[in-house]
Amino acid sequence: MSVARDDSRSDHTEEILSAWSRERPDVDVSSISIITPLWRLGRAVVLNRERTLAAFDLDHSGLDVLATLRRSGAPYRLTSTELSLRCEVTLGATTQRVARLEARGLIERIREEPDRRTVFVRLTMEGQELLDEVFGEVMRSDETMLDGLSDNDRATLSRLLRRWERAVVR
């Protein structure tokens, strides 16, 4: 999927902005020019990711677990608590995700000697091989969504989004 070159969407945003400015001149509606395209882009990104992951019988939550384990470095294992914190989900959600991936043989739960109380979630070789393939496809697919942006545009957008994220997401 490439970035839409059709200006009708931005015209639609301008129409919404203009209509609200006319109907509610007492309210600052300028955020519409940022939030509306962002909302549409967000949906397009999610749909693009879902299509890419579906080819591997994965969803975003499965990718999140596999990728988090892979990024943790060898031996690609974390406790459920560490995994929950890094994936920013509850322990219950982590348990469900782990169970689905474990059933596919992509991860395993292990206890190590001498303290067998600690349970680790570890990426299996099959999980690592699948993730490496999926990750390459996801990056290629994501890249197509940025085709219409120059290197300078991308650097500027990245900087602005990081700044905005730091200000909003706490």
pLDDT per residue over 78-105, tens digit each? 999 999 999 999 999 999 999 999 999 9
Q: Per-residue pLDDT for 61 more than 70?
A: yes
Could you tell me if 66 and 133 are in contact, meaning their C-beta atoms sit under 8 angstroms apart?
no
**pLDDT score, position 3:** 45
Give residue 10's pLDDT.
57
Q: Looking at residue 114, what is its pLDDT?
A: 73
Contact 2, 145 (CB under 8 A): yes
Measured in whole angstroms, how far is the alpha carbon of residue 64 from the centre of its chain?
8
Torsion of CA 33, 39, 42, 43, to 10 degrees: -130
- The answer, yes or no, to whether residue 4 has pLDDT greater than 90, is no
Q: How confident is the model at residue 2 (pLDDT cuts 50, 70, 90)?
A: very low
State the pLDDT confidence band at 20, using cuts at 50, 70 and 90: very high
Per-residue buried b or exposed e for 64-103, using 16+ beta carbons within 10 Å of the residue's own CB:
bbbbbbbebeeebbbebebbbebbebeeeebeebbebbee
Share of the chain above pLDDT 90, in %: 85
pLDDT for the residue numbered 111? 86
